[in-house]
Structures are given as C-alpha cells and as structure tokens.
Amino acid sequence: MERKSLMLAVCIAFSLILALNMIWVKNVKAQDVYAIEWVNHKVEVLYDGSILVNDTIKVAGTPSSFLIGLPYRYGAQVLKCVAYPSSNPTRRYAVSTGVPLDERMGFYGVNVSLNPTPENGIFSVCFVLSNNLIKQDAQNTSLFTVDFPAYPSFTVKASSCNASLALPTDAKYVSGTVSSFNYAVSVELQPFTYREANVTFLLTTGEIQPFTVKELKREIAVTANGELKVSDSYYIVNRSPKELSSVEIALMSNASDVIVEDEFGRKGKTPEMIEKPIGKFYRVELTFAGRALPLKSGEAARFIVKYRIPSSFIVRSGKNGEISLQMFQNIRYYVENVEITFTFPEGAKVVDLRLNGTSTDVVYGTSREVFTERAMLQTNGVFLLDSLEAKVSYTYSPLWLSFRPTIWAWALATFTCTVIAVWKKLHTPPVAAAIEVPTVAVKLTAETFRSFVDAYKEKMKIVAELKSLEVAVSRGRIPRQKYKVQRKTLETRLASLERSLSELKLKIRSAGGRYADLMHQLEVAETEFNEVEGDIRSIEARHRRGELTLEAYRRLIGEYQRRREKAETTINGILLRLREEAH
C-alpha cells in the first residue's frame, strides 16, 4: 500500500514538472526573439566634460522591447537616457532605467519599448554621464583622463561592434586600457559583456572645460513694436582644478547685439563669436566693469547674456500672433534646470503655450499683472539631442500702443487745467461772496486704530482655526457633525468681523494721506495672499493626481510659500504701524 502511494506521488510530481516545463518553454517562445547584426558604440566627451554614450543598433526581428546595459558603477553617473529611431531622431521611445539586465548582477539596465518598430531595425540609445568621470591633472591641466564603458552590454550576441572615443581633433592619445581612440572594428560582442575603460589624452586648446550648468533662465520679451529681446541667465560651477576665465555658450539662431552682464548689472566684454562645423558659439569672458573674475575650482557664478533675434519668428494674423522658437540648438553641455519665460506688452493675452520636442516633465504656468501677462515653462536635464521648440500664441491689439501716450496726455491736460484754474483764482479781484463753511477732514482716534487691529487679528485667528478644523476632519480626528457645527459658528463670527473691518477700513481710508495708502497696500497684500493660497491648493491637487513630479512639486511649493510669507510680512507690518498709531 505504501509502495503504491509512493509511486502515485512520484507520478504526480513528474506530471507537474512536465506541465510547468511546457508552460515555461511556451513563455520563452512567446518572448521577443531577435538578433543584433551590428552596433556602433561611440563615446563622446562634450565641452563641459559630460560624456555622451551613443549606441546605434541594428536588430534582425521585430522585438517589442530591448534590453541594454552598462557596468553597474556607471549607473550612479547616468544623468539622462533617451532612445529614438535613427530615421527620426526627434521621436522618442519610452525607456525604463535602472532595471535588471535579464536578472544578471553587476549591470545597470535600460529597457527600451520599441513602439513603433524602427525602420530597417535601426535605432539609437544614448546615455549622458556626468563629468565626474573625467579628471584633469592639477599640475598639467592639459592632461585629461576619461573613464567610460568600453562596450554596451546586451542579453544576446552582437555579430559586429565598432567602438570609438570621440574627442576634439587636437586631442593626442597618451595611454589607456584601450589601444587608441578607435579601439574596436567589427568585433564580435558576447552576451553580458562587462568592460570598463579609461584613456589619458593631451589637449591644449580648451575644447574641454569641466563645469556644470546648474541653471539656465531664458526670458524672451516681445515688445509692442514686435521686436524680440532675449536674456539668458547662466548659473555655473567650475569643476576643473584650474581657474575658469571664460566659457563658450550657444545662443538662439540669428542672435545680434550681444552683450554680457554680471548678476549686478555690470557690463562685460563683448563676446567673441566662434564658428564651428556644428554651429556658432560665443566665448564669454568672466570680466565685468574692467575686472576679471575667474572662478576657482568649486566656485559658482551667474552671468547674463542679452541679445536680439529677428522679429520674423513672429507670425501675425490680425490681432493674433504666434512665436515658434528652437530653444537649445547645438549646445555642447548638459543643463540641469531650465526655465523659459515669455513676457508680452501691455494688453496682450496668452492663448496657448507648449514645448514640442523630446523633453519630459515640463511644468507650465502664467502670471498676471495689471495689464500684462507672462508665460513660463520649466524642465530638467537638457542636452544637445533635445530638439525643444517653444510655441506660444497670444492676442494683442495695436490700439494698446496709444495707451501710455493717452494716459500722459490726460495727465498733462489735467495738470494744465489745474494750473489755469489756480492762476485765474489768484488773479481774479476779490468779490463779496457768501461765507462758506470749511470742510473738516475725517478725524481718526486711537480707538479706531485699536479696534481695526484687534478685529483683524481676530479674523486671522478664525481663519487659522478654520484651516485646523479642515485638517482635523480630513484626518478623522473629529466627527463630521461636530465639524459642521464648529465651522458654522466660526463662519458666522468671521462674517460679522468682515462687516466691521469694512466699515473701519472705509473710515481710515477717508482720512486720506498715508492712511489711505496703508489700506491700499493691505488690500494688495490680501489679494496676493489669497491667490497664492489658491495656487498652493491647485498644485497639491495636481501632485496627488500624479500630474507633477516630486521635484517640480517641491520647486513650485517653495516659490509659492515664499510669496505667501512676503504677503504675510506686509500685512503684519501694516498692522504694526496701525497699532503704533493707537498709542
């Protein structure tokens, strides 16, 4: 009996193993089957010392996804990874970074979703690695050592691999773990190839200067006459062991009247234009008001480049206008944070703002003043393969050109009439007239100021209690029925205080002079505070819905909190001044 039970158990186990094996084989067959015919592995050192690893791959088959990797220690240096079909570099494939390379240890993997299938099976995967991988000798600053992945890592064999290190033409090979800059021609690449490399080279021309562009703020101003003025504010950090006295930057197409200023508005030397095969660049000397300000290693500085671009970039149709601009063509450095702002003349209204191209996580926004609007967008991680085109549509009536002259004409006419009236009064002989009772200005007492300040403080306290009540009910600390009763009581008290404050505010404003000005400042600060509160609620809601990344959410929250604190400081200052009047 026991023997039969044992045989039955063995048969069941064998059947299960066979079934699982069949399912596994079926799944394996269902996976993407492809072969790599060839790969061109090009490692390029950019002007700022960051490293661009470009793998152009031809596959046989139609895989829906593709795995590629680097030796694991390079994963911490990856700033950005993009993939695109070679026939259309402006298009981007979805990539997932930091994934396992077919469950193998020691690799930093990337999964590329090849949808749609690349034409002829040819596509490219690019990694941007930080300039921490390039070292410049402190004694001989013309000597560089660059550390890079010698070959890409795949899960299947690559029949042919060409690998090279692209450096400026004047660079001279000194030594390294590879024999030359072009170190591999038609080499067969085995699966899960793991090969690190380093090369020491000599470069005396300044074509590579390790530095980091932490921030680039570009403001494009559209004038009432249709001109386009651009202001680029750079914030850079020197990563080289030697002093940084100049940098080469790329401006927008057809730039003219280029000037440079430091963050305090001091003029610098006129930038020298340098034409290279890849485009035009401008060498900015870090010299302002006749004083050289070179950056030592690890130091940071901000400078501003102002210039004009042709108005032909604006397409007009009646009152409507559209601007279409290529933002960062041929830049030879990696920009961590980018902010682009469009400003318009008085009376213009923004209709639409968008950033076309290859960047992700773009944050859009607009701000309104009395008669003008500003459109803003922010993004992170921009480099030379990002084809970013900013498009903004707006409406503007030419009648606004006469707005300021008309205001000045009215002011001049009013002043002239006043002068004539005063002159006539002074030169008219006295005539017996009825005695007029003089008008007495509104007189304010200390009690009026004290009542206003006390009422305003009580209002602020009630508003704070309402917020605390909202938080408590949202977290389940109090029953909803109790919440409704307390909220109703607080809102009733708040409405009564608002009526009292309106009467007191009108009374203080009627006194004129500095009191009327204080009330105006208070209303402006209150409006700003309320707008910021609404913006914060909107940003938090968008973040909860997943429309904003954590970094963008933190940046916007920080900006709005600074504006809120500024408004609160203004309000408290006004209340303090009124409190002093009560004594």
Closest CA to 69 of 109, 113, 40: 109
What is the spatial distance between Cα 94 and Cα 189, in angstroms, rounded to a whole number? 25
Q: What is the pLDDT of residue 439?
A: 39
Q: What is the pLDDT of residue 437?
A: 37
Task: State yes or no: pLDDT of 147 exceeds 90.
Answer: yes
How many domains, the chain? 3
The residue count for the chain: 583
- DSSP-derived pairing of the beta strands 104-113 and 35-45: unpaired
Task: State yes or no: pLDDT of 169 exceeds 60.
Answer: yes
Q: Which residue has the higher pLDDT, 534 or 274?
A: 274
Distant-in-sequence, close-in-space partners of 190: CB < 8 Å, separation ≥ 6 = 157
Among 174, 202, 230, identify where a domain stops. 202
Among 180, 202, 224, identify where a domain stops. 202
Query: Which domain range does residue 147 map to?
Result: 33-202
Let me know whether 244 and 354 are in one domain.
Answer: yes
Task: State yes or no: pLDDT of 88 exceeds 50.
Answer: yes
Give the tens place of pLDDT for each residue, 203-223.
999 899 999 999 999 999 988
Residue 14 domain-assigned (yes or no): no
Q: What is the pLDDT of residue 175?
A: 95
Let me know whether 276 and 349 are in one domain.
Answer: yes
Nearest 10 degrees: CA dihedral of 541, 542, 543, 544? 50
Residue 544 domain-assigned (yes or no): yes
Let me know whether 191 and 225 are in one domain.
Answer: no
Let me know whether 225 and 346 are in one domain.
Answer: yes
Q: What is the pLDDT of residue 400?
A: 47
Q: What is the pLDDT of residue 17?
A: 58
CATH number (domain holding residue 278):
2.60.40.1730
Task: State yes or no: pLDDT of 537 exceeds 70.
Answer: yes
CATH number (domain holding residue 193):
2.60.40
Task: State yes or no: pLDDT of 189 exceeds 70.
Answer: yes
Nearest 10 degrees: CA dihedral of 69, 73, 78, 84? -10
Residue 107 domain-assigned (yes or no): yes
Q: What is the pLDDT of residue 477?
A: 80
Among 338, 364, 399, identify where a domain stops. 399
Q: Which residue has the higher pLDDT, 299 or 2?
A: 299
Name the band, by pLDDT with cuts 50, 70 and 90, for residue 431: very low
Q: What is the pLDDT of residue 324?
A: 85
Q: What is the pLDDT of residue 312?
A: 82
Q: What is the pLDDT of residue 576?
A: 79
Average pLDDT estimate for 307-328: 82
Let me know whether 186 and 279 are in one domain.
Answer: no
Q: What is the largest CA-CA distance in the chain?
A: 141
CA 531, 532, 535, 541 dihedral sign is: negative
Q: What is the pLDDT of residue 18?
A: 56
Average pLDDT estimate for 357-381: 75
Q: What is the pLDDT of residue 358?
A: 61
E strand residue ranges, 24-136: 35-45, 51-60, 65-71, 78-85, 94-101, 104-113, 122-129, 134-136
Average pLDDT estimate for 389-397: 79
Which 3-state string (H, E, C) describes 201-258?
EECCCCCCCCEEEEEEEEEEEECCCCCEEEEEEEEEEECCCCCECEEEECCCCCCEEE
As given in the structure block, the two tokens for residue 221 are 């101003």
Q: What is the pLDDT of residue 369?
A: 67
Task: State yes or no: pLDDT of 397 exceeds 50.
Answer: yes
Q: Which residue has the higher pLDDT, 202 or 388?
A: 202
Q: What is the pLDDT of residue 440?
A: 41
Let me know whether 78 and 194 are in one domain.
Answer: yes
Q: What is the pLDDT of residue 126?
A: 96
Find which of 134-143, 432-441, 572-581 is predicted with most confidence, using mean pLDDT. 134-143
Q: Decide: helix, strand or coil at residue 33.
A: coil
What is the average pLDDT value for the chain, to the nearest integer? Answer: 83
Task: State yes or no: pLDDT of 436 exceeds 60.
Answer: no
Name the band, by pLDDT with cuts 50, 70 and 90, for residue 179: very high
Q: What is the pLDDT of residue 279?
A: 84
Let me know whether 318 and 455 are in one domain.
Answer: no
Task: State yes or no: pLDDT of 229 exceeds 50.
Answer: yes
Q: Which long-range contacts (CB under 8 A, 24 or more apart) does 290-296 make?
A: 292/245, 293/262, 294/243, 294/244, 294/245, 295/236, 295/237, 295/238, 295/243, 295/244, 295/245, 296/238, 296/243
Q: What is the pLDDT of residue 434?
A: 40
Q: Which residue has the higher pLDDT, 549 or 145?
A: 145
Let me know whether 336 and 371 are in one domain.
Answer: yes
Q: What is the pLDDT of residue 2?
A: 57
Q: What is the pLDDT of residue 173?
A: 96
Task: State yes or no: pLDDT of 1 exceeds 90.
Answer: no
Let me know whether 309 and 365 are in one domain.
Answer: yes
Name the band, by pLDDT with cuts 50, 70 and 90, for residue 5: low
Let me know whether 242 and 174 are in one domain.
Answer: no
Residue 516 domain-assigned (yes or no): yes
Let me know whether 346 and 463 are in one domain.
Answer: no
Residue 181 domain-assigned (yes or no): yes
Q: Which residue has the higher pLDDT, 289 or 133?
A: 133
